[in-house]
Amino acid sequence: MANKTSQQSKSERAQALMREQQRRERLRNLLVVGAVVVAIAIIAVVMVVVQSNKDKTGEAIDPGGTPNNLTGTYNVVIGKSSAPTTIKLYEDLQCPICKSFEQVAGSQVQEAIADGRAKVDYHMVAFLDRSSTTNYSSRALNAAMAVLSTAGPDAFLKFHTLAYANQPAEGSAGVPDSTLIDWAVQAGANKAQVTPLINGNVYHQWVLNATDQMSRDHVNGTPTIYINGKLQGGSPPSPAVATQAVLAALK
């Protein structure tokens, strides 16, 4: 009887130990799961904060942060309102294909503007900051807007030509703000007026919002070209075909 009682006692103690071990295992698992959940939550919050700090698209533009002499919110039309042909361009000053378009058709476009055969609706954007180590794309567009704002559309067009003629190689540092200021002055801007606008990156938020508007316009790349409202070069557009369409329209 004593042996039986002893065996029962051992069995009960073993079962008690097993139950305690199972309880501890459950507690440990709950703690691990809880820690993982907390870690995931912290990571999610950090990611949201980082993203919100990085993505400033769509934020309100400070007073003085919108360029003067725009035609619409994010564009400038250059040429006579009576011109029979309207060319709508989405361009990035760092875009090498935009540079090719400028090399092939730029002079013909400007001649057509001058003699009243065409007007050009420029939608300048800056989504190629990744192609330089100094955010050249957005800095160059800020400079172009500084020229437009202080010296008008004709000076903007000259800066546009200078920027493509001197476009930095992809992956390079681009050019410093001091060079952008030199180009602005060559285009006809007053140095004292454009220098603080360029050095201060005053139109940066406008540049971000203008670039975002390109996506809202369902435009996914540059150059994208419309002639009298019709997309040129197919979908996705072929820049070579679109360029030839522009040249044909300007004959």
pLDDT tens-digit readout, 145-186: 999 999 999 999 999 999 999 999 999 999 999 999 999 999
> For residues 225 and 87, is the Cβ–Cβ distance under 8 A?
yes
Rounded average pLDDT over 7-20 = 54
Q: What is the pTM of this model?
A: 0.77
Helix axis angle, 136-151 to 191-199, nearest 10°: 150
Burial of 113 (0-12, 13-18, 19+ CB in 10 A): buried
Rg of the chain in Å (alpha carbons): 31
Query: Could you give the CA distance from residue 54 to residue 202 in angstroms, rounded to a whole number?
Result: 18
**Is 188's pLDDT higher than 60?**
yes
Mean pLDDT of the chain: 86
Residue 51: pLDDT band (50, 70, 90) is: very low
Higher-confidence position of 22 and 78: 78
Burial of 136 (0-12, 13-18, 19+ CB in 10 A): buried
pLDDT tens-digit readout, 62-79: 889 999 999 999 999 999
Query: Would you state the pLDDT for residue 235?
Result: 73
Sheet strands side by side (includes 85-92)? 76-78, 118-125, 85-92, 224-227, 230-231
**Is 25's pLDDT higher than 70?**
no
Query: Would you state the pLDDT for residue 24?
Result: 61
- 3-state class percentages of the chain: helix first, strand second, coil last, to nearest 5: 60, 10, 30
> For residues 140 and 163, is the Cβ–Cβ distance under 8 A?
yes
Residue 132, phi-psi category: left (phi > 0), alpha (psi -120 to 50), beta (remainder): beta
Query: Would you state the pLDDT for residue 76?
Result: 98
Residue 40: pLDDT band (50, 70, 90) is: very low
**Is 234's pLDDT higher than 60?**
yes
Cα→Cα distances 170→86, 97, 131, 142, Å: 31, 12, 5, 19
pLDDT tens-digit readout, 83-130: 999 999 999 999 999 999 999 999 999 999 999 999 999 999 999 999
Question: Tokens for 130?
Answer: 């990744």
Residue 41: pLDDT band (50, 70, 90) is: very low
Rounded average pLDDT over 53-62 = 68
Query: Would you state the pLDDT for residue 62?
Result: 85
Query: Would you state the pLDDT for residue 45?
Result: 36
Query: Could you give the CA distance from residue 140 to residue 127 in angstroms, rounded to a whole number?
Result: 12
Rounded average pLDDT over 40-63 = 53
